[in-house]
Structure formats: structure tokens, C-alpha cells
Chain A
């Protein structure tokens, strides 16, 4: 961040998903916020999925479609009654079409403090090669 003064975070409600084929289990489905960047080596995706444990997250890549599907665990204990609720919890779901060729065997995923970091390395053939013209 180049600015010396960090800007103030704005409160936003999570975006509820629309247009997905209806799921069999009832419940809310949200679109996680993501950052996606590309380097020579591959793509990196960061997704905010608070409340999702690594064990409850499914990452699927087939036919160049990447699917993220995570279920947030319910933190409320038994016997707690709600006084007010400004945010809602549920499932996170998002799909991406990947144009790059990804080396499926080298995908790495880590989950830290509710943030998924997914590293999708490009296959050798897709890495740019400098071609010298004689």
C-alpha cells in the first residue's frame, strides 16, 4: 500500500448468490470476495471465507472450471438466543473459468484465519518463452 494513511473499512453485507442451480439443502449461499493475480509461474487466488475450516472446504478443478465450495461452521453454542444479527452465515460458493492450463498435480491450498490461498501453477507448456528472432 503506497498511501501512508490507510482508508477506513466500510461495512458491507455479504453478497448472496444468484443464478446457481438450487441446492438440495436449504440455507444461505454467499459469494466470497476474491483476489486473483497471475505471475509467470501461475495463478494465485485468495478468498475470504470466514468460519470455514479446511476440512469443510471443497476445491474442485475439472474441464478448466474451478469450484470453491465451503461450509461455515456455526459458532453459536446451544442455549444462546439471538439479540441482534447484522451478518448472516451459511455456505460460500463460487466458480471460475480458467483460461490458463493448470498443472493439476501441483495445486497448493492453505487456509489461514478464514482466508483461502490457492496456488495454481501453469503447466510447463503454458509458461511464456522468450523467442529470439534471428
Chain B
């Protein structure tokens, strides 16, 4: 939903009303409107909290995904309440041979914890999670009440 915030009209009428002011206000409103259409979703490292996540939906469920390479499914703790998902765990990088001399060390280890709010309520009982090739997918079926319904007109 998009809300246009309007400046109270008394101000524009009262003191320094000018057609230019009015034009620029209209332009700002237009920009906000088109912005909302073209950028319906955010891009980039939004919250800046590990792990970065992508969220999609279809009519039945939300799908939350995160890239967690090298983390075993058992090392991820996941809990879901009505409309929020909490994920935490630790990425461990195994100790290699004692005589190993590192040329490069770019992969990082450490703990993570993130809570994410969903756009709507989900059916907690039916949540499924899978970890394939280091990509965690959480399927969160929408609760019955929140699902879109086709209504036939008699």
C-alpha cells in the first residue's frame, strides 16, 4: 500500500503560496508514486544482518531463502511464530592439517542470529525447511485466514 503524505493545505494557502511551490510538490508526489511502483521490493544488503535473505511468495506460502554454505542442517536453529522467523547458528570452519600454510583465507566463521518479520501470518504447524547445496529454503504456508480467496458471484 502506498500512502501519499500531503502537506496541510492551509500552509500553502496562507503565507507564501506560489505556483512553483505547488508544481514541485506535485513532482515530489509523482516521484514517490513511481518509486513505489518500480521499487516494490528492496534490493541489496537491507538489514545488514547475517544471513542475507530473499523472500518470495505465491498464493499459498512465503518462501524465505538464505545462502549458508558449509553449514549442516543440524547446525541451524529455526523457530517460527505467527508472523516472524528467527534463525540462528554458527558457521564452523574445520581445522586443517597442522602443517598447513595458508595462501588465502577469505571464508569466515562465526555465530549468527536474525529475526525477520513476515508480511502476514503463517501456519506454524506446516512450516518446512530444507538445505540443498548450501541454500536454506523455508516454506511458510500462509494461514488460512490470510490466503486470497476466489469468490464466485452468484
Interface residues of chain B, those whose CB is within 8 Å of chain A, are 41-59, 62-63, 65-72, 90-93, 95-97, 99-113, 119, 131-135, 137
Contact = CB atoms under 8 A, between A and B. Distances in A.
B112 A113 contact: no
Contacts of B113: 8
A48 B110 contact: no
A75 B70 contact: no
Contact of B104 (A9, A12, A36, A76): A36
B103 A83 contact: no
Given A37-B100, A37-B102, A113 B70 contact: yes
Contacts of B110: 6-10
Interface in A38-64: 38-40, 43-44, 46, 48-53
Range for the number of chain A residues in contact with chain B: 35 or more
Given A75-B65, A79-B58, A83-B41, A114 B70 contact: yes
Interface of A: 1, 6-13, 33-40, 43-44, 46, 48-53, 73, 75-77, 79-87, 111-115
Contacts of B67: 50-51, 87, 114
28 contacts: A1-B109, A8-B50, A8-B111, A9-B50, A9-B108, A9-B111, A9-B112, A12-B45, A33-B108, A35-B104, A37-B101, A39-B100, A44-B96, A46-B107, A50-B67, A77-B63, A79-B58, A81-B56, A82-B41, A83-B41, A83-B119, A84-B41, A85-B54, A86-B44, A87-B53, A113-B72, A114-B70, A114-B134
